[in-house]
Amino acid sequence: MSHQTAKSQGLVSCHECYKVSPAGSHLCPRCHAHLHPRKTASVQRTMALLITATLLYIPANIFPIMITSQFTDAEPSTILGGIFILVQMEAYPVASIIFIASVIVPLAKLIALYFLCWYATRGSTANLRQKTQLFRIAEFMGKWSMVDVFVVSILVALVQLQGIMGVEPGIAALSFSGVVIITMIAAESFDTRLMWDRLAAHNNEVFTDTVADNTPL
């Protein structure tokens, strides 16, 4: 099946209102957004943000996300420690929500975006439909990682009884929300159309059969 892209037809699509305009237009005639055939420096920007997020992920897991105090005991807990406490309380559904949102989702999103950056520049052009689907899931799931940060904000505001019990936020809350926000921006800078462009370029090469095949498959 031929893949008729806007690019191959000399058109550029507006990312904000979906209107297609002739290639070379700078402003969308419908919504006045700046038009780009592809997102600017997509892979470079996404990679830079991913590396930043990966570095922030380390303090987010080492340092306590909150410090719970009861009478005179102060007990700091990390993200994983908090999940362990929930398991001890036998609150399994909630423990699994936090485990999925704070551990699996950010890690899976980081790994998925690294892989997609690889496939947007080199690597196989097979199963693009699944890879595009993977990106959409990663993009959709990203914001759910904020659950743990919100829980800390609720507990800090609510659990304040002078001298009896209190909750203080830890520095990991800041690093972790940094991880979430930065991976969201990374997903926004990534352009899945780059993967499809590589497939189109590859198909053209095979079809015309004139260029020496110098792209390893």
Partner 1 sequence: MLASAAIRHEDLIACPSCDNLTAIPALQHGDAVFCRHCNHPLTQYQHNAYDQVIAYAVTTLILFVIANTSAFLTLQATGSENLMTLPGAPLAFYERGMPVLAFIVSSVILTLPFLHTLLVLLVYVPLKLGKPTAWLILSGRLVFIIAAWCMVDVFLIALVVSLVKLRTMATITLGIGFWAYVGFAISFTLMISHIDRLQCWRAIDALMNPGPRTLKPPPDPLTHTQATEAKGS
Q: Which residues bind partner 1 (CB under 8 A)?
A: 1-7, 9-11, 13, 15-20, 22, 30-33, 86, 89, 91, 94, 97-98, 101, 128-129, 132-133, 135-136, 143-144, 146-151, 153-162, 164-165, 168-169, 173-174, 177, 181, 184, 188, 192-193, 196-197
User: Would you give the DSSP letter of residue 27?
Assistant: B
**Cβ(192)–Cβ(45) below 8 Å:** no
Residues 42 and 188: their CA atoms lie apart, in Å, by: 9
The minimum distance between CB 74 and partner 1, in angstroms, equals: 14
The minimum distance between CB 212 and partner 1, in angstroms, equals: 27
**Cβ(38)–Cβ(137) below 8 Å:** no
CA 27 to chain centroid, in Å, comes to: 28
Name which of 107 and 185 has its Cβ closer to partner 1: 185
First-to-last alpha carbon distance for the chain, in angstroms, is 21
The minimum distance between CB 150 and partner 1, in angstroms, equals: 3
Name which of 50 and 82 has its Cβ closer to partner 1: 82
